[in-house]
Amino acid sequence: MNTGHRVAEPLLEPSHLAHQEGERMDQHIPVEAGSRDGVAGIGRIVAVASGKGGVGKSTVTVNLALALAGMGRTVAILDGDIYGPDVPILLGVRRRADVDERDALMPIGGGLAAAQRHQPLERHGLGVFSLAFLVGENQHLLPGNAALSGMLIRQILFDTDWGERDYLLIDLPPGTGEPQASLTSQIQLDGVVLVVTPQSTAVLDTTRSYQMFREAKTKILGLVENMSYFVCPHCGERLDMGGDNEDGRPALPTITAPVLGRLPFDPAVSRSTNSGRPVVLSEPSSVVAAVFRDIAETVDQTLYGGGGRPG
């Protein structure tokens, strides 16, 4: 749905996501050259990114969030993938009915007054707001040009009442365009997790993303290698999916960031996607769930030192 400078505003069940008309405050989000803004109430903002689509980035985002929540952290997710906002589906939230854009439009620019701010949907102990809440599942959401994509994600970020959270995870679209450019230049990101698979094309595209975040001076928390290997359920033999060095790292010669974890190719992940209960919840004793918990512990140790949230 190309609506130029306007995008659909959430009118989604549950009803608390509905937008109410009212006064807007154009000065709500100041932007100054060279400045980066934090988000009130959020302890750490972590972007989850990939150079290439189809590597399981949203799956990593959701399960990492749940693993952090399982450690006692308060976590929210902003699903900012303008091309494929799939986080709600992974969490069992569906919206099949199309949105009539004549009844659900929001100008890009400015900010909402406090009483009008979006309330995240609470699901599995996570606060969630997604671009999928703006349209039906079969509709697409794409502002009139690339620059508006960055404005849209930034506006939703600041127009949502996240409350007090230890973490906000932002699921970004693949690539190095928008909204990545806007977020890295305008938002204080505490770190980024890069998701990659062993295939050479995914490795190459991840290198580009890595360089973009480094040039923006964003901390690279590490890499998650998804679909890294397969364990035969009959004989137990482990088969690497390709692209590994002798030390078990993905072949990323120009990337110095650590590998946070290597996730197996596991049918349990597909089952959890279909059920709307991510694998960390649905099959907590699985190998893949254990890897997600290890990744969460490493991220938390890096950003909080394993301790409580600073006052």
The β-bridge relationship of strands 259-264 and 238-240 is unpaired
The pair of structure tokens assigned to 281 is 């919840």
What's the chain's average pLDDT?
77
What is this structure's pTM? 0.81
For residue 25, tell me if it sits in a domain: no
For residue 24, tell me if it sits in a domain: no
For residue 188, tell me if it sits in a domain: yes
For residue 35, tell me if it sits in a domain: no
For residue 31, tell me if it sits in a domain: no
Q: Which domain holds residue 121?
A: 6-16+40-304
The pair of structure tokens assigned to 123 is 């699901």
The per-residue pLDDT for range 220-251, each reduced to its tens digit, is 999 999 988 888 888 877 888 764 444 444 55
Q: Which residues of 256-284 are buried (b: 16+ CB within 10 A; e: fewer)?
A: ebebbbbbbbbeebeebbeebbbbbbbbe
For residue 30, tell me if it sits in a domain: no
The β-bridge relationship of strands 111-112 and 6-7 is unpaired
Domains of the chain: total = 1
Of residues 76 and 308, more confidently modeled: 76
pLDDT at 149: 74
pLDDT at 102: 56
Of residues 217 and 23, more confidently modeled: 217
Domain at 286, CATH number: 3.40.50.300
Can you tell me the distance from the alpha carbon of 52 to that of 200, in angstroms, rounded to the nearest whole number?
A: 11
Give the whole-number percent of the chain exceeding pLDDT 90. Answer: 34
